Amino acid sequence: MMHQLHTIAQHGGMSLTLGDGVAFSRPIWLYLLIPVGIVLVIIGRKSLSGMGTNLRRVALGLRLLVAGLIIAALAEPQWMRRSEAVSVTTIVDVSRSQPADIVSRTREMMNKASGLARDGDLLGLVSAASEGRVQQIPRPVRIGGDAIDAPDVGATDATNLESGVRMALASISTNAANRLLLISDGNQTAGSLMEAAKAAKAAGVPIDVVPVRYTNDAEVLVDRLLAPSVSRQGENAKLRVVLSATKPSEGLLTVLLNGEAIDLNGDAPGVAKAVSLSMGTNVQEALVRLPRATGPARFEAVFEPVRGADGKLRDTLVENNRAMAVTFVGGEGRALLLTRHPQQAAELMQALRESKIACEMREPNNAPQGLAELGSYECIILVNASRDEFSQQQQEELRSYVHDLGGGLVMVGGDESFGAGGWIGSTLAEALPIKLDPPQKREMPRGALVLVMHSCEMPEGNYWGRRTGEAAIQALSAKDLIGIIEFSWQGGDNWIHPLAEVGDRSAALRSINSLTYGDAPSFDTMLTDAYNGLMKVNAGQRHVVVISDGDPQLLDNTLLPKFAAAKISISTVAVFPHSYGNASGDLQKMKRIADLTGGKYHEVTGSTGNLKSLPEIFIKEARTVKRSLIQEGDPFSPTLVMQSEAMRGIGKIPPITGYVVAGDREGLAQVILRGKENDPILAQWQYGLGRSVTFTSDATGKWAKAWVNWAQYRAFWEQHVRWAMRPAGNPNVRVVTEDRGDKTAVIVEALDDKGEKLNFLRWQGRAVKPDMTSVPVELRQVGPGRYEALVETQNAGAYTINMSYQTGDGEKQGRAAVQAAITRPFADEFRALRDNAALLEQVAQDTGGMVLSPEDITAEGKNPWRREGLKAPISLQPVFLTAAMIAMGLLLTDVAVRRVRINPRAIAGAFTSAFSRGKKAGAGEQIGSLRAARDKAKQMLDERSGLSKDPGSPRDRGGPTTSSEALAKAASNYASAKFEASAEELARSKNASIVDTPSAGDEGRRAQIEQQKAKSADEPAAGEGMSRLLKAKKRAQEEQND
């Protein structure tokens, strides 16, 4: 038996394994075996001395065994089971640079190889693109099975092999030895495959690889487009297009400015320029006149290959044939006003224009796309804008525009703004100097919203169900009521969250996370529950939102009229219905529900991309209950509570008749004007690099009629907009960017008005990345008037950079700002022109795997399920409880052995008599012995009284009374002594066995009695048993008499 001691480094303890069967986690207890054994032997010799030798040995053996088992149980024994199965997890690179049929080719290859798998072997599948995703957890290999339909692989414009390998490692089987099989070209654009390989090696999981080999012999890519970051209106800008070619190529180069092609050809026909490229790097230059309009000028360079003299195209991938760049064309500061109600903003627009602030008005659905374009404005003004007019992306861009680009934001109220516009809980709300959720102590009529969630069969239904629920909850204020109903598989229609105050939202959000998304059969029951719930609460606005695919039943014709009569509206959101169009009964049903109750009908169909609109729909619907935040009434003048720079020279404030209730924000926010109950009306603060101002009344004739004709109306708005605006750019600051691999250098040259270099400027900068996250940009002075910063730019997309600096001190202090944009037009996915099989081979070598190919996957020694180099996993099953229970059983056996006297002969006799016909004889024996005893007694009586043996003889009958009495007495004594002894007779017969006559007092009689006793003692077992009975009976009678 092999003993192995393993040191468990993590826990600092030891374990002991005995062969391949048993392991002990706390083997130190086993040291007690010998001393305890010795003690038990010593004690046992004494305590068991009264037992027979064999019995003593058995009892001692049992004791030792019990003790041994208890000690073993304390040592925490575990049963070790070794698995013989092998699990292979295939990681398939499905990024866009891979061949389109890679999944089907993988399937064919694995089907071919699966014949080599043994019973119990497993196969799993992970896809790797921008991230790794588990497509199939390891399960028994089945020949001929096809892959899951339409696997969801996520974004494919990047290759993150590290994520694929790590995901595979996370999903490997714990009951089998594991291998990974990586199928890829080895080109990765994110992550580090070698790092993941290290993790695999540490886990003892070898990685076999199947390189997907290719070489793009002929390839042209537009490496970058260089343009000045900043320029002035009407200036000429020199553009440089850098192209790389693997072979001499020819093609046409086109440059577009804001989408329109620039004529690069001069007088020749067409606008594109014919270029001949040599192998390697080529640079083409173009001189472009910038537009007169200020703002970002977008350039795009596009290369189109043409066939060479041999008729061949020298280009394979088209995705890498274009590049972009942005030049900010500077001018005077300008503002952008966004509103869906132009007439409500007309006076404000007029006032700003009269103040010489260049201002442009657009509707939200025509708002600038992207941060770079937003950044070309110095101030954004929202007038009575509701949240649902902006996508989630736009909301985030607005926030980042203020925080990271230093832009100014002015939010002006109205009946669809602030909290009433659904902005509570939005990312933009973070940029405002007020809290949109009114304070708890503020008495406001509240709203009640019920969400009815039906799972539908939409993709990622759980995820979208959660997003929509969260969006609706976030849009409500703390005092509003929220309830959630769904059909649960554990109980049918159910209030997952009964109608209750939103509060801090945690309870409601927890309920959203606990939704089970059952397949609801009936709208009738769920809507009935919603109706009954809403009728019990006191709320100003009551509303229901139903999300469903429309197939639950709706047969109760009385239900919807009840909702309408109670003024409870129901909006419906149809998601991925089973049928579309006007002929769809399900969609008609959903529309009818909304129409009959005054709600709205929304349809989210088509592609999964449309699901992104779901949260916005729910926010919009949640606004229905938020009308309660509007405070309207008699005119009153807001109170000036604080002087600010923007209020300089502003006199008496005219009255207003309404506003949206909000609360104070802690920190450095400044409230300038307050309304009733101390509600903030005008507030401002610094947010990141920018500033924001809020005015919760409106700028029109609805709530602020008296303001429109107020003499200081123009000054009020001009001063507040200018206060918020980002400072103007310095025309003497030049910005250029340089590509440095994964990073881009931002180089700034700053001059003053006299052309002198500006040194020791204190810069603040932020860069907004394509994923909308922002990072600080730290500019260091690297030379006279020259400053440089490095920005990470490895991902495709647009990077917007804002840098501002302060000059001077005290009253001469000034601010200036400058912007730049960096673009990476295509994913690095398309930069690779050949495979990177070398990386894969290295991974295989480092982890103990092999390089395989589809052709030889079934060859000897190349089986993906081969066992070489693998360590079979061992599962440990604790058995200490079993040991303890066996010890308990043996302990009872030990007690039985010692306490219960076992007479084998008696046992044998009992068995024999129990199963033989002599059972009756046994009973007869007892009777026989009684009779014999009776006869003996009679004989003795006769002998003593000299009577005949015949008790019935006349002489006996008529004989002396004494003899008869003696006989009767003797009989009585006999009977009593045996069965019915009286107290007197008992006393006499105590020491006698059978009879006691008045004349039995001499020695001879005593001798007889002694003989009788001796005889009784020698009588067979029945007599002995009888004497025991007699004794027992006597004892009982004595007790009774006592």
Ramachandran angles phi, psi of 1010, nearest 5°: -60, -40
- In this chain, which stretch among 393-401, 517-525, 783-791, 974-982 interacts with other proteins, using CB under 8 A? 517-525
Helix axes 904-915, 919-945, angle to 10 degrees: 100
Binding status of residue 142 toward other proteins by CB under 8 A: yes
In 115-192, where does DSSP find H-type helix? 161-170
Q: Which is nearer to other proteins, 37 or 145 (CB)?
A: 145
Residues 108-137 close enough to bind other proteins by CB under 8 A: 136
Work out whether 492 is an interface residue with other proteins (CB under 8 A).
Answer: yes
Distance CA 46, CA 30 (A): 26
* 922 near other proteins, judged by CB under 8 A: no
Q: How far is CA 932 from CA 12, 336, 394, 666, 1005, in A?
A: 83, 132, 119, 115, 20
Tokens of 964: 């008869």
Q: How far is the CB of 146 from other proteins (least distance, A)?
A: 6
What lies within 8 Å, CB to CB, of 891 at 6+ separation is 66
486 touches other proteins (CB under 8 A)? no
Per CB under 8 A, 266 contacts other proteins:
no
Please tell me whether residue 309 binds other proteins under the rule CB under 8 A: no
- Decide: is 147 part of the binding site for other proteins (CB under 8 A): yes
> Is the Cβ of residue 142 or residue 213 nearer to other proteins in the bound state?
142
* Beta strand ranges found along 347-402 (DSSP E): 358-362, 379-383
Q: Which helix (H) or strand (E) holds 723?
A: helix 713-724
Contact between residue 981 and residue 1036 where contact means Cβ atoms under 8 Å apart: no
Q: Does 148 bind other proteins (CB under 8 A)?
A: yes
Judged by CB, which is closer to other proteins: 581, or 808?
581
**C-beta closer to other proteins: residue 319 or 524:** 524
**Residue nearer to other proteins on the CB measure, 223 or 556:** 556
Candidates 104, 258, 365, 579; binder of other proteins (CB under 8 A) is 579
Question: Closer CB to other proteins, residue 104 or residue 912?
Answer: 104
- 111 vs 845, beta carbon nearer other proteins: 111
Q: Which is nearer to other proteins, 1 or 143 (CB)?
A: 143
Q: CB-wise, 578 or 931, nearer to other proteins? A: 578
Residue 379 Cα distances to 329, 333, 375, 399, angstroms: 16, 8, 9, 12
Q: How far apart are CA 647 and CA 803, in angstroms?
A: 28
- Report the distance separating Cα 60 and Cα 37, nearest Å: 10
Beta strands at 733-740 and 690-695: parallel, antiparallel or unpaired: unpaired
Rounded least distance, CB 555 to other proteins, Å: 5
Least Å distance between CB 459 and other proteins?
A: 12
The correct pick among 489, 636, 911, 979 for binding other proteins (CB under 8 A) is 489
What distances in angstroms separate CA 538 from CA 24, 546, 624, one per listed residue?
Answer: 65, 21, 16
State both tokens at 254. 């086109």
Residue type, 911: F
**Comparison of 589 and 722: residue with beta carbon closer to other proteins:** 589
Residue 208 interacts with other proteins (CB under 8 A)? no
C-beta closer to other proteins: residue 4 or 579: 579
Where do we find the tokens 């040291």?
31
What is the size of the binding site for other proteins (CB under 8 A)?
A: 31
Q: What own/partner pairs with CB < 8 Å and gap ≥ 24 does 701-708 have?
A: 702/344, 702/414, 702/415, 702/657, 702/658, 703/413, 703/414, 703/632, 703/656, 703/657, 703/658, 703/659, 704/654, 704/656, 704/657, 705/657, 706/635, 706/654, 706/655, 706/656, 707/654, 707/656, 708/347
Q: Report the SS3 class of residue 577.
A: coil
Stretch that binds other proteins, among 307-315, 511-519, 809-817, 937-945 (CB under 8 A): 511-519
> Exposed, middle or buried: residue 433 (CB in 10 Å: 0-12, 13-18, 19+)?
buried
Among 13, 21, 585, 878, contact with other proteins (rule: CB under 8 A): 585
Min CB(143)–other proteins separation in Å: 5
Stretch that binds other proteins, among 582-590, 825-833, 837-845, 1015-1023 (CB under 8 A): 582-590
Shortest distance in whole angstroms from residue 546 CB to other proteins: 17
For the segment 524-563, give every residue that binds other proteins (CB under 8 A).
524, 551, 553, 555-556
Among 49, 53, 490, 1041, binds other proteins (CB under 8 A): 490
Written as six digits, the tokens of 279 are: 């192998």
Q: Which of 216, 233, 350, 522 binds other proteins (CB under 8 A)?
A: 522
Q: Which of 491, 741, 861, 1020 binds other proteins (CB under 8 A)?
A: 491
**Residue 583 lies near other proteins (rule: CB under 8 A):** yes
Q: Can you tell me the distance from the alpha carbon of 779 to that of 762, in angstroms, rounded to the nearest whole number?
A: 9
Nearer to other proteins, 579 or 912 (CB): 579
**Binding of other proteins by 504 (CB under 8 A):** no
Cβ proximity to other proteins, 610 vs 1016, nearer residue: 610
Question: What is the C-alpha separation between 14 and 541, in angstroms, rounded?
Answer: 68
Binding segment for other proteins among 245-253, 484-492, 842-850, 1022-1030 (CB under 8 A)?
A: 484-492
The piece of 369-377, 516-524, 703-711, 838-846 that touches other proteins (CB under 8 A) is: 516-524
Of residues 309, 349, 357, the one with CA closest to residue 331: 357
Q: Does 223 bind other proteins (CB under 8 A)?
A: no
Contact characters 429-458, other proteins, x per CB under 8 A: ----------------------------x-
Least distance (Å) between residue 456 CB and other proteins:
11
Assess 175 for contact with other proteins (CB under 8 A). no
Q: What is the rounded distance in angstroms from the CA atom of residue 42 to the CA atom of residue 706?
A: 110
Place of tokens 């598989």: 489
Helix axes 614-623, 461-475, angle to 10 degrees: 30
Q: Which residues bind other proteins (CB under 8 A)?
A: 136, 139, 142-149, 457, 489-492, 516, 518-519, 521-522, 524, 551, 553, 555-556, 578-579, 583, 585-586, 589
